[in-house]
Structure 1
Amino acid sequence: MTAGTDTGTGSATRIRGISPADWDAVAALEAAVYGPRGLSEGRAALEARGEASPSTCFALHHELRLAGYLLAFPYPPGRCPDLLRPERTAHRSDNLHLHDIAVAEDLRGKGYGRTLLHHLSDAARAAGYRRISLVAVSGMDTFWAALGYRPQPGVTPPPHYGGDAVYMSKTIREGRPHGAQNPRAPHDTHH
């Protein structure tokens, strides 16, 4: 989305696409949030995932700092990205996989995460996606269930997501995809 999108959480807060200058702050926030759980991927993996679908990866800026981010990209339903290696391919799919969302500790519980999720849902619908999937980790499946995500029987996330990981998805648009804005053809995002 464009810079200056009103988040509804205050005039000093903006959501926009992730820029090259954001990646150091994204990697630091990711390490702070996911590192203690053994789930940190590092900058190279995060950047590769962001480059796979820049139109569905967002930075939340609050009072002149990166205070949150969200990474989502097309991925086949029922499958999960490998946390142990960067993926350089954007898949053709009507499923958008919410891979990562993080908000700075001092802003948690104030609606910024939900604002990022609403922003993603709006962008996903506009681009023609039918569903959003995710892997709930660290016992967060009840949180995601309250937001309408449902466990998908028969889909077991790889062990590196943790023993309590649950693959979940939510339908955001009924019927067939309406266009080719994205889902897009696979391609290598690195030169």
Structure 2
Amino acid sequence: MSGETLLLRPICEADLDAVRKLQADSFAALAGDTHSPAQIAAHVALIMAPDYVGELLSNNILVAEAPDGALVATAGWCRVPDDPAAARLRKVFVAPDRAGQGLGRRMCEAAEDAARAAGFRRFRVRANANAEIFYAKLGYRPVERGEMPTAAGVALPTVIMVKG
């Protein structure tokens, strides 16, 4: 990534298959230290489910596009229904070969900036357990631990984190 210029732009319908593959590959490769194989498979199944496309298109998702056209990261935000001053960070994923290079931070900052431009001043995220340390480094603090149910009947450990 050194010296490479990435284009950050809103997701479009033509990106959907590539985004889902990126997100599934990212979780499968980067969550293994914290999540079981069954949890990884269940999360990948969520990403590949038909209704996931609607989530991607309705959550202000930004994609990072490399000069060769490859999509290498995503992040977005949405409103928090029970807290009108807060935006929820969504769908933060980085291609496995780009992890640890600052791209996740850049994507989160871009999503937060977009939410700020829409009037939001506080942020929250439902982080998968493997991402808690990442978000803590961005200034998020844990406020609630829980689980996200999946269609496969496998619960994914999560933590609600807030910033601002």
Answer yes or no: same fold by TM over 0.5: yes
Report the 3-state secondary structure (helix = DSSP H, G, I; strand = E; otherwise coil) of the residue aligned with 1:12.
coil
Question: In 1, Cα distance between the equivalents of 2:156 and 2:51?
Answer: 18
- Where is the helix percentage greater, Structure 1 or Structure 2? 2
The one-letter code matched in structure 2 to 1:49 is E
The alignment's TM-score, normalised by the length of structure 2, stands at 0.76
Report the 3-state secondary structure (helix = DSSP H, G, I; strand = E; otherwise coil) of the residue aligned with 1:102.
strand
The alignment's TM-score, normalised by the length of structure 1, stands at 0.66
Q: Provide Cα deviations, 1:30-57, integer angstroms capped at 9, x if missing partner.
A: 221235523122263332113324xx31
- Match among 88, 111, 118 for residue 97 of structure 1: 88
- Confirm or deny that 1:59 pairs with 2:58: no
Describe the shift of the 1:99–1:77 C-alpha distance in structure 2 as closer, same or farther (beyond 3 A): farther
Describe the shift of the 1:9–1:128 C-alpha distance in structure 2 as closer, same or farther (beyond 3 A): farther
Report the 3-state secondary structure (helix = DSSP H, G, I; strand = E; otherwise coil) of the residue aligned with 1:148.
coil
Report the 3-state secondary structure (helix = DSSP H, G, I; strand = E; otherwise coil) of the residue aligned with 2:117.
helix
Tell me the matched-pair count. Answer: 146
Query: Where do 5+ consecutive residues of structure 1 fail to align?
Result: 1-7, 79-92, 172-191
The one-letter code matched in structure 1 to 2:116 is R
Regions of 4+ moved over 6 Å: none
The one-letter code matched in structure 1 to 2:63 is A
Matches within 5 A, 1:26-41: 26-35=19-28, 37=40, 38-40=42-44, 41=46
Describe the shift of the 1:124–1:71 C-alpha distance in structure 2 as closer, same or farther (beyond 3 A): closer
Query: Where do 5+ consecutive residues of structure 2 fail to align?
Result: 29-36
The one-letter code matched in structure 2 to 1:72 is W
Report the 3-state secondary structure (helix = DSSP H, G, I; strand = E; otherwise coil) of the residue aligned with 2:129.
coil
Task: Give RMSD over aligned pairs.
Answer: 2.5
Aligned-residue sequence identity (percent) comes to 29
